[in-house]
Amino acid sequence: AMEDVCAKFVSQKISKTRWRPLPAAALQPPDLFATGSWDNEDNRISIWSVGDLGNVGLSGEYQGEPQLLCDIRHNGDVMDMQFLDQERIVVASSTGTVTVFRHHQNNQTLSANQRWEKAHYHVDQDTSCGGAACTGVICNNPEIVTVGEDGRINLFRADQKDAVRTIDNADSSTLHAVTFLRTTEILTVNSIGQLKIWDLRQQRNEPSQIFSLTGDRVPLHCVDRHPNQQHIVATGGQDGMLSIWDIRQGTMPVSLLNAHEAEMWEVHFHPSNPDHLFTCSEDGSLWHWDTSTDISEKPSFLHQGGRSTTYFSHSTINQSVVSAWLSNDPTKDRMEITNLIPNQTLSVNSLDILGPCLVYGTDAEAIYVNRQLFA
């Protein structure tokens, strides 16, 4: 599968990679992605096109490396980045500032469209060095939620100058990542192994539910929610373990899966094919977790009653396959796990998947695109 991957060396360490979302009715694969860098003298937000579609090799594989369309300077390390819509990208900075950049497609330029200075800060907003890293951002246009090292949660709205809502001491430890569970609820993960659910309709500044890893309080770095089953959540932590949670029950993960040898930086369910999950790590690996095996090969899921029927309604099948993530040890039930980059040595900091396409970025100052993920 390695020959399907196109590499581009970019002379900066890449901290985030994100596909531009496709319009709702689009059938074509994604064609543009954004990257953000870190730990460079001059960090940048860049927009890339995936390369020359017309340039196809003999066996049908595509050739041509990603082309830089435009870039812009970014103050501080890019800690997180999400597209708000087709044109705008929200970027979280290590300085605590949150910026919305606009990609102007008519003349291929980027400009800062809106900025919340020191959305995250230590002590008070006025001290010159008081910025606290904004570690995570999630968008549900026009709403933008940010979390930070200061334990704060902000709810912004695009085109509004002030925060709609701020929960000042949401957490006494660092918040590392955030995701929407539904339009009014968010879920955060922190540096002492806790997941917390916040109901944004409630005025109180306390979480509505708290879940935690037992024992060691391992910091959690990333979280993603299953796209169709909103109660299934995956997290990854400092120890490289993948945890699957069912937020309808209990306060502990349903399953803990041995994954990477070092920090897991990102976890993503495939947005339209969530039997597939992807994780990347400081240890230089990127894993594809596949629970989609032939239904006939999975009697354990479908015939719990012992009597088998030969046809199932669509919903039963969906339920059963999805529950692969919720079984106590999904790996027993024919989960296939593939390391998509066997001999990388430096950290894979970020990945994103859309349709058949994967993009990831590394500390080896390179971005990689695979456009035939399921070939």
Strand 348-354 to 209-212 pairing: unpaired
- The yes-or-no verdict on residue 298 having pLDDT over 80 is no
- pLDDT score at 325: 80
- The yes-or-no verdict on residue 186 having pLDDT over 60 is yes
- pLDDT score at 87: 96
Percent of the chain with pLDDT over 70: 85
- pLDDT score at 343: 80
- pLDDT score at 215: 75
5-55+62-292+322-370 has CATH 2.130.10.10 classification: yes
From its phi and psi, is residue 80 left (phi > 0), alpha (psi between -120 and 50) or beta? beta
Interatomic CA distance for residues 82 and 90, integer angstroms: 5
Beta strands in 38-173 (DSSP E): 43-49, 67-74, 78-83, 88-93, 98-104, 109-116, 134-140, 143-148, 153-157, 165-167
- pLDDT score at 293: 72
Least confident of 83-87, 196-200, 267-271, 344-348: 344-348
- pLDDT score at 295: 42
User: How does residue 320 score in pLDDT terms, banded at 50, 70 and 90?
Assistant: very low
- pLDDT score at 129: 63
User: How does residue 333 score in pLDDT terms, banded at 50, 70 and 90?
Assistant: low
Distance of CA 36 to CAs 20, 28, 93, 267, 352, Å? Answer: 13, 25, 10, 18, 13
- pLDDT score at 26: 81
For the residues 42-59, what does the mean pLDDT come to?
78
More confident residue, 258 or 54: 258
> pLDDT tens, 273-286?
999 999 999 999 99
Q: Please provide the average confidence, as pLDDT, over all residues in the chain.
A: 87
Least confident of 79-83, 87-91, 210-214, 292-296: 292-296
Least confident of 75-89, 92-106, 132-146, 238-252: 238-252
- pLDDT score at 304: 33
- The yes-or-no verdict on residue 237 having pLDDT over 90 is yes
Interatomic CA distance for residues 91 and 102, integer angstroms: 11
Spans of all domains in the chain: 5-55+62-292+322-370
Percent of the chain with pLDDT over 90: 70
- The yes-or-no verdict on residue 4 having pLDDT over 80 is no
From its phi and psi, is residue 310 left (phi > 0), alpha (psi between -120 and 50) or beta? alpha
- pLDDT score at 19: 98
> pLDDT tens, 13-27?
999 999 999 988 888
